[in-house]
Amino acid sequence: MINLIKGFHDILPDQSLKWAFIVNKARNCLERFGFREIVTPIMEKTELFQRGIGRTTDIVEKEMYTFQDIGSDSLSLRPEATAGILRAVVEHSMLKREPVLKLFTIGPMFRRERPSKGRFRQFFQINAETMGDDSPLTDAETILASYTLLDDIGVGNFSLEINSVGCKNCRHLYRSALVKYLEPSLNSLCPDCQRRIETNPLRILDCKEPQCIAVSRDAPLITEFLDSSCRDHFEKVKLALTSIGVPFRLEPRLVRGLDYYTRTAFEFVHSQLGRTKALGGGGRYDSLISELGGPDVSGIGFGLGIERLAMNLPDDHADFLRNTDIFVAIIGAGPLNPGFELVSRLRRSGLSVEARYSGMSLKAQMKVADRLSAGWVVMIGDDELALGKATMRDMTTKRQFLVELDDIERVVRGEIF
């Protein structure tokens, strides 16, 4: 037997209905907020992620699936969605047609992280991006869209954490102060963070290793170094969220794991997952589009992990249980072909219909109907066939009666009986 690749996972039929529920809710919510769907390739040139995400991030340094193709190009499976979306926006000059552009995508991402509960090497995300508007109200609207999406899906017990990570100017001052604070404890940091102190010291604040958490606990906060513009922007974001009733908690240690974030950063944390396994989050990126060759406009976006969302929904929720309108129980060999024709006709009428053609007993077929949560069972045997009728059983009330074959659809839709 050939087993699944470590860190990957199958979405089995019993789970796929929950996934479809999440995806449909996400699409409906994002379309209400004015986002339009874009579908980009799962593989891009490695340079895109090096430039977009940052060469010194863990994602680019250690987690990307990268290989040489038959030619000379270095290609990578996408570890996140923003870079690919912005590549498409720049390449197709989309911001020339729409100065403010709102896009979303849903699909798989790939990172070679250590597998754990809710963390996979192929994982699925819902991503949304707003480009061309640097207003604090756009930040608040983007956060509201992600908050509403979680609420629409029915995810409970989550909280919103927000922070400002400043701009390049104030972050330069903060970086110097942070390095000065950390250097005396350099040998106490994990090996990754000992390296990060030279390349990306802010990521040390996001490290989940206990010794790094202890060292950075009293580190200076980036909010103490914000310039007046970044401070004013963040205050307006907080005021806007308060005005629309979105609860949040300030988390001055929140930096997120991507280099391109500026100013507003946010994360959704679930009480049962903790900060090490957030539901998702996002932030503003004021220079990423221009760095990828596009116009000098800002953007803000978020990503939510579908696996994480699914973990927090009950498996027996009525909205994503399998429902079958009719199970046609064919009794005996004589009615087999007429039964098949009946099933086909009912499906063409728009009903969800199931049947079994292998000569099962009526008792066994009724068990199948129960397992499929069929609303009705239509029984057709030699006696019914001779009358041109079928026996219908309401699986909720257990009421049973004969009906003309042509009237089955009307009974199911509540038009008669």
Residues 249, 397, single domain; the answer is: no
Q: What is the pLDDT of residue 401?
A: 93
Residue 155 resides in a domain: yes
Residues 43-46: contacts with CB under 8 Å, at least 24 apart:
43/75, 43/76, 43/77, 43/78, 44/75, 44/76, 44/78, 44/83, 44/84, 44/87, 45/73, 45/74, 45/75, 45/76, 46/74, 46/75, 46/76
Q: What is the pLDDT of residue 273?
A: 60
Question: Does residue 365 have a pLDDT over 70?
Answer: yes
Residue 7 resides in a domain: no
Here the CATH number for the domain that contains residue 404 is 3.40.50.800
pLDDT (tens digit per residue) in 185-197: 888 888 878 888 7
Name the amino acid, one letter, at 181: Y
Residues 253, 369, single domain; the answer is: no
Residue 405 resides in a domain: yes
Q: Using a pLDDT cut of 70, give the percent of the chain over it.
A: 94
Give the strand order in the sheet containing 324-330. Answer: 353-355, 324-330, 374-380, 389-394, 400-404
pLDDT (tens digit per residue) in 321-351: 777 999 999 998 889 999 999 999 999 999 9
Q: What is the pLDDT of residue 201?
A: 82
| Per-residue pLDDT band at 398 (split at 50, 70, 90) | very high
Residues 260, 372, single domain; the answer is: no
Question: Does residue 20 have a pLDDT over 70?
Answer: yes
pLDDT (tens digit per residue) in 233-286: 999 999 999 999 999 999 888 876 566 788 999 999 887 664 456 889 999 998
Residue 402 resides in a domain: yes
Q: Which of 279, 311, 343 is the last residue of a domain?
A: 311
Q: What is the pLDDT of residue 322?
A: 73
Residues belonging to the chain: 417
Question: Does residue 100 have a pLDDT over 90?
Answer: yes
Residues 300, 355, single domain; the answer is: no
Q: Which of 311, 330, 357 is the last residue of a domain?
A: 311
Residues 326, 294, single domain; the answer is: no
**pTM assigned to the model:** 0.85
Calculated CA dihedral for residues 167, 172, 174, 179, nearest 10 degrees = 140
Residues 231, 292, single domain; the answer is: yes
Alpha carbons 376 and 8: distance in angstroms, whole number: 39
Please tell me the total count of domains within the chain: 2
Q: Which of 263, 279, 311 is the last residue of a domain?
A: 311
Residue 252 resides in a domain: yes
Stretch 98-124: mean pLDDT: 88
Residue 48 resides in a domain: yes
Q: What is the pLDDT of residue 183?
A: 84
**What domain range includes position 237?**
13-167+227-311
Residue 178 resides in a domain: no
Stretch 51-58: mean pLDDT: 65
Residues 264, 341, single domain; the answer is: no
Here the CATH number for the domain that contains residue 265 is 3.30.930.10
Question: Does residue 16 have a pLDDT over 90?
Answer: no
Residues 398, 270, single domain; the answer is: no
Residues 408, 351, single domain; the answer is: yes
Stretch 116-127: mean pLDDT: 86
Residues 240, 338, single domain; the answer is: no
The vertex-254 CA angle with 52 and 172, nearest 5°, equals: 60
Residues 99, 247, single domain; the answer is: yes
Question: Does residue 221 have a pLDDT over 70?
Answer: yes
Residue 219 resides in a domain: no
Question: Does residue 372 have a pLDDT over 80?
Answer: yes
Residues 290, 339, single domain; the answer is: no
